[in-house]
Every structure is written in structure tokens, then in C-alpha cells.
Amino acid sequence: MIHMITGGERSGKSSYAQQLALEASNVPIYFATAKVWDNEFKERIRRHKTERDQRWQLIESEIEIFRCLPESGRTVVIDCITLWLTNLFSFYKSDKRQAFDEAKQEVNQLSAYPGNLFVVTNEIGVGVHAPHSTTRDFVELQGWTNQHLGKNADKVTLMVSGIPMTVK
């Protein structure tokens, strides 16, 4: 089962995903995709870690998701697709097509996972049109990936100001 949780930055996506995971399992897994880019991001990751107690197991991977999941069907929060896409986009030297091909393959594999996946992502293309082509390319990559993930998800929730709204 894939439950996609999307919304803007600081909309409550991660907290909601963690709440759902704890309702589904006493020993959920937090799958972190973040890369430590700078000291500010290092602090953000530290804060995220303090939000989880001893019940949580941790998996960290910047590029691969499906191959790093436990084989048995477990309850996993994947946080987050946007940071993972940033890593892919960087890995493929800002080639949005290559990054999207990889993202589609990964999402297709996630659809076969025999557990509960709570997948956190961001809606970044809702604001102004970006002035730089690289930024526009990333916004397109995020949008395409969210569409593909949404089509493959069993449930989709949009977080607005900490309030979950059922989309699918």
C-alpha cells in the first residue's frame, strides 16, 4: 500500500506520515533520503531525528530506495521524494529526463512492495514561475514524479496548514 502525502513546506507532511505509521506499526521504519548539504541542513536533520522515539528504525539512502527497503512487508515512512529527486537531479547533472526515467522505475518498484509505504513529497510548482531554467527543470521533474506517484498510490493526502485533505 502506498499512501502519498503531499503539500507545501512546513505543512505538517512528515508529522502526519509518522502518526499514520505509528498507527499501523509498533516498529515503523523511517527512510531518510536527505543529503547533508550544509550546516543548516545538518541541524534540520538533527531536529527531525529528535521527533522520533526508540520505536523507529532508520534507513538512510540518497539515491536508491526500493533496493534498500527490508524484504518483509514493513511500515515505512519515506521522507522525502523532493530531497531524493534533488539527489537524482544532481547525480544526472541536471538532466530532468534521465532523473525522471530513474524516478519512474523506482516508483514502479515501490508499487510492488508488500508493506505500508507513507511517501512524503512536496508541491513546489504552485508558486511563481522560476526565472532560471535549471530551477524550472527541477520543478518539472518534481511535478512529473508527483503525478506518477499519485497515479500509483492507493491513497493521496494533501496537507494544508497542518490539516490533512483526502485527494484519493
- Enumerate the domain spans of the chain: 2-166
Residue 72: pLDDT over 90: no
Listed in sequence order, the residues at least 6 apart from 34 whose beta carbon sits closer than 8 Å to its beta carbon are 41, 44, 45, 62, 80, 83
Tens-place pLDDT, residues 84-122? 999 999 999 999 999 999 999 999 999 999 999 999 999
Contact between 2 and 152 (Cβ < 8 Å): yes
Determine the pLDDT at residue 129.
74
Q: For the whole prediction, is pTM greater than 0.85?
A: yes
Determine the pLDDT at residue 98.
97
Catalytic residue among 3, 48, 129, 132: 48
Q: Which CATH architecture has domain 2-166?
A: 3-Layer(aba) Sandwich (3.40)
3 is catalytic: no
Distance CA 65, CA 108 (A): 11
Distance CA 31, CA 44 (A): 15
